[in-house]
C-alpha cells in the first residue's frame, strides 16, 4: 500500500513525463527525477520542488517507485544500461513503472532482468495526450505482477484510470492496438476534410459538422481545434506515432495478424516525415494530405 511518504522517481521529463511529474508533486509526493538535459526540468525544480538527480541510478537509489517515460526502445535501453543505469539502482521491493510505449519483447526481457534483483517492473503505457495528463484522466493499461500493481495503483490513480490487463508485454500490445485506431482515425478525418474542402466547403465549417457527427470520437473532438492550425508544440507527434505503428506492424507479423489500416497509415506517416512534419502533432496529417494532393504531387 502506497502513501504520500512513498518516494517516487521519474526518468524522462519530456512533454508527458514532465506533466506526470508535476501532477505527482502537486499531489504531495516527494519526487526525484532526471532527464537527458537538466534545462528541460528547470521549472519542475524551481517551481514544483523536484529533487534533481544526475543519473537514472541515483533516481532508483532514492526512490521506492520509479517511473520512466521515454520515446522508444533505444532510449529505454540507454537509461537502463551500465553502472549509472536504472537497473543498477533497483533493489528488492522496488517497483519500476514504465509508461513508455515500447516493443512487447523488450518489455518482457526487462521484466525478467528486474525480477533477478527482487524488484518488479510494470508496463503502464497510457492513452491520452498532454491535456489528459494535466487533467488526470489518462487511460492506463498495466501489465505485470498483480501484487505489485495493487501496491502502486493509488499512485497511478493520480494520473488517470489504471487497469491491469495481464502480464508484461500484454499492456504494450493493447496500447499499440489503440494507436492503430488513433492513427487511422486521424488519417480518415484528414481525408474526408480534404475531400470536403476540394468540393468548395469551408474547412472549418465541415470540420465542426464532422466531429459533431457519429465519427466524432473523443480523440477527434479534442484535436478538432488544432487540425487547421497545429500548435508549435505537439501533444503527440508524427514521429512517435510512426514508431508505434511500426511496433504494431512488427507485432502483427510476429503473431501473423493482418493489419491493413496500420500498413496504410504507416505509409502516410513515412511521407509526412519526408515532408518535414515529424515533430508536428498528428493533427497535421491534414496539412500533409494537402501537400500530397498539391500541383507538385500531381505532376509527379
pLDDT digits (tens, 9 = 90+) for 209-244: 999 999 999 999 999 999 999 888 899 999 999 999
Query: In 3D, which of 195, 189, 180, 194 has the Cα closest to residue 215?
Result: 189
pLDDT of amino acid 298 = 45
Q: What is the pLDDT of residue 279?
A: 96
173-299 is a CATH 1.10.1040.10 domain = yes
Tell me the average pLDDT across 152-178.
Answer: 97
- 119-130 pLDDT, tens digit per residue, is 999 999 999 888
For the record, the C-alpha cell of 199 comes out as 468540393
**For residue 282, what pLDDT is reported?**
96
pLDDT exceeds 70 at position 299:
no
Q: What phi and psi, each to the nearest 5 degrees, are found at residue 139?
A: -95, 125
Residue 129 to residue 131: CA distance in whole angstroms: 6
pLDDT band, residue 4 (cuts 50/70/90): confident
Does the pLDDT of residue 296 top 90, yes or no?
no
pTM of the model: 0.90
**Residue 274 designated active-site:** no
Would the pLDDT of 284 be above 90? yes
The average pLDDT across 266-276 equals: 97
Share of the chain above pLDDT 90, in %: 92
Where do we find the cell 514532465? 18
Query: Is residue 5 very low, low, confident or very high in pLDDT (cuts 50, 70, 90)?
Result: confident
Per-residue H/E/C for the chain: CCCCCCCEEEECCCHHHHHHHHHHHHCCCCEEEECCCHHHHHHHHHHHCCEECCCHHHHHHHCCEEEECCCCHHHHHHHHCCCCCHHHHCCCCCEEEECCCCCHHHHHHHHHHHHCCCCEEEECCEECCHHHHHHCCEEEEEECCHHHHHHHHHHHCCCEEEEEEECCCHHHHHHHHHHHHHHHHHHHHHHHHHHHHHCCCCHHHHHHHHHHCCCCCHHHHHHHHHHCCCCCCCCCEHHHHHHHHHHHHHHHHHHCCCCHHHHHHHHHHHHHHHCCCCCCEHHHHHHHHHHHCCHHHHHC
- Of residues 175, 221, 243, 274, which has the active-site annotation? 175
Q: The CATH number of 8-166 is which of 3.40.50.720, 1.10.3080.10, 3.30.1370.60, 3.90.550.10?
A: 3.40.50.720
Cα(224)–Cα(215) distance, integer angstroms: 12
User: What ranges do the domains of the chain cover?
Assistant: 8-166, 173-299
Tens-digit pLDDT profile for residues 54-70: 999 999 999 999 999 99
pLDDT of residue 129: 87
Tell me the CB-side half-sphere exposure of residue 172, using CA atoms within 13 A: 30
83: left (phi over 0), alpha (psi -120 to 50) or beta: alpha
Instruction: Give the pLDDT confidence score for residue 300 in this predicted structure.
Output: 45
Amino acid at each position: 500500500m502506497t502513501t504520500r511518504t512513498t518516494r517516487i522517481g521519474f526518468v524522462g521529463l519530456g512533454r508527458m513525463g514532465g506533466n506526470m511529474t508535476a501532477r505527482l508533486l502537486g499531489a504531495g509526493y516527494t519526487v526525484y527525477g532526471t532527464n537527458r538535459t537538466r534545462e528541460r526540468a528547470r521549472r519542475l525544480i524551481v517551481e514544483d520542488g523536484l529533487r534533481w538527480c544526475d543519473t537514472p541510478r541515483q533516481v532508483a537509489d532514492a526512490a521506492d517507485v520509479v517511473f520512466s517515460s521515454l520515446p522508444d526502445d533505444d532510449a529505454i535501453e540507454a537509461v537502463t544500461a551500465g553502472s549509472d543505469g536504472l537497473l543498477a539502482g533497483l533493489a528488492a521491493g522496488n517497483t519500476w513503472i514504465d509508461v513508455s510505449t515500447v516493443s512487447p519483447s523488450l518489455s518482457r526481457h526487462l521484466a525478467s532482468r528486474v525480477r533477478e534483483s527482487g524488484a518488479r517492473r510494470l508496463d503502464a503505457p497510457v492513452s491520452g495526450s498532454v491535456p489528459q495528463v494535466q487533467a488526470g484522466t489518462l487511460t492506463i493499461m498495466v501489465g505485470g505482477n498483480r501484487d505489485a500493481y495493487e501496491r502502486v495503483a493509488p499512485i497511478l490513480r493520480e494520473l488517470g484510470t489504471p487497469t491491469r490487463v495481464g502480464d508484461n508485454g500484454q499492456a504494450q500490445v493493447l496500447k499499440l492496438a489503440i494507436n492503430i485506431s488513433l492513427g487511422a482515425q486521424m488519417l480518415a478525418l484528414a481525408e474526408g476534410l480534404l475531400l470536403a474542402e476540394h468540393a468548395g466547403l469551408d474547412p472549418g465549417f465541415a470540420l465542426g459538422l464532422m466531429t459533431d457527427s457519429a465519427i466524432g470520437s473523443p480523440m477527434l473532438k479534442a484535436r478538432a481545434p488544432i487540425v487547421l492550425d497545429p500548435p508549435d508544440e505537439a501533444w503527440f507527434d508524427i514521429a512517435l506515432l510512426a514508431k508505434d505503428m511500426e511496433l504494431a506492424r512488427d507485432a502483427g507479423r510476429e503473431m501473423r495478424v493482418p493489419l491493413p489500416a496500420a500498413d496504410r497509415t504507416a505509409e502516410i506517416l513515412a511521407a509526412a516525415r519526408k515532408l518535414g512534419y515529424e515533430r508536428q502533432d498528428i493533427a497535421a496529417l491534414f496539412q500533409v494530405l494537402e501537400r500530397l494532393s498539391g500541383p507538385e504531387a500531381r505532376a509527379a
